[in-house]
Amino acid sequence: MRQLVWFSCGAASAVAAKMAVKKYPDCEVLYCDTLAYEHPDNMRFLRDVEKWIGKPITLLKSEKYKDIYDVFEKTGWLVGVGGARCTTELKKNVRKAYQRIGDLHIFGLTADEEKRIDRFEDQNPELEVEWMLADAEITKNDCYRILQQAGIELPEMYKLGYNNNNCIGCVKGQMGYWNKIRVDFPEHFKKMAELERKMNVALCKSYAGDGKRKRVFLDELDPSAGRDVPMPDIECGVICVNDPANRKEAAEQLVMRMTA
């Protein structure tokens, strides 16, 4: 049986990879490559995680699409009720092409993501999955702290105030998110705004007083609409104790248990 660890350049998946390598020394750590439109700091983070876990992270690429905009242009599809087409083509389908029957899959979903775990299991009943983080009652905030205690600098997108380390300008974001992208990455905002008009598809939506949904194109988005994504709330979870000094010691002990 192969043990496949699906790294995402996120904090939680990094901690899951560390735990998996300790439990399954021969596991494979894999990343479905969307680096072209991610923050350039993600490659630094990936290399730091490789050193931390003591194993190379293999990059898997789509054989059909080169990046997210190639998906958008060729499929004529941005996002819908079924999710983002770029995720399907560059993440899900790449994973499916690599996996085999009987593989054990390890993903970086945490104890505070029970709904996502339940949804994944409902949609993928054929997969054997081990939820290492959730089983150990490790939350997203625990993962931020574990990486900091291990001396690994968090990815730049977290430090800029984004809750997830996705592509810059994720099609799943809404008004507050896109107004933050407008400020932090104006070139990415402009590129997506132009693509929206070209495809006649608006990512954001608002609701008028009558409750009816209205689509809002990025080039007409009110700069004050929505709200900014908050900074990650890096505080205690499973490693929580009252005294700050003891809290730091508890975090260090958890890292030591993982890295022993």
Give the model's pLDDT for residue 73: 93
Give the model's pLDDT for residue 205: 86
Give the model's pLDDT for residue 54: 97
How many C-alpha atoms does 94 have within 13 Å on its Cβ side? 23
- For 29-58, what is the mean pLDDT? 96
Q: What beta strand segments (E) does the chain contain?
A: 3-7, 28-32, 57-60, 79-80, 83-84, 104-107, 128-129, 204-207, 213-216
Task: Report if residue 237 sits inside a domain.
Answer: no
Confidence of residue 234 (pLDDT cuts 50, 70, 90): very low
Residue 157 CA to residue 164 CA, distance in Å, equals 7
Residue 209 CA to residue 235 CA, distance in Å, equals 39
With beta carbons less than 8 A apart as the criterion, state whether 6 and 95 touch.
yes
- For 83-98, what is the mean pLDDT? 92
Give the model's pLDDT for residue 246: 43
pLDDT higher than threshold 90 for residue 80: no
Confidence of residue 214 (pLDDT cuts 50, 70, 90): confident
Confidence of residue 15 (pLDDT cuts 50, 70, 90): very high
Task: Tell me what percent of the residues of the chain surpass a pLDDT of 90.
Answer: 73
Range of the domain at 184: 175-220
Q: Which two tokens stand for residue 205?
A: 């939506």
Of the listed ranges 130-144, 177-191, 204-218, the one predicted with least confidence: 204-218
CATH classification of the domain holding 84: 3.40.50.620
Give the model's pLDDT for residue 256: 53
Torsion angle of the four alpha carbons 129, 134, 135, 137, in this order, in degrees rounded to the nearest 10: 170
pLDDT in tens, 158-180: 899 888 888 999 998 889 999 99
Tell whether 214 and 119 lie within a shared domain: no
Tell whether 115 and 40 lie within a shared domain: yes
> How many angstroms separate the first and last alpha carbons of the chain?
25
pLDDT higher than threshold 80 for residue 199: yes
Tell whether 123 and 183 lie within a shared domain: no
Concatenating the DSSP letter of every residue in 50-79 gives HHHHTSPEEEE--SS-SSHHHHHHHH---E
Instruction: Report how many domains make up the chain.
Output: 2
With beta carbons less than 8 A apart as the criterion, state whether 15 and 110 touch.
no
Tell whether 118 and 191 lie within a shared domain: no
Residue 165 CA to residue 167 CA, distance in Å, equals 7
Task: Report if residue 167 sits inside a domain.
Answer: no
Tell whether 128 and 12 lie within a shared domain: yes
- For 113-125, what is the mean pLDDT? 94
The number of beta carbons lying within 10 Å of the beta carbon of residue 224 is 9
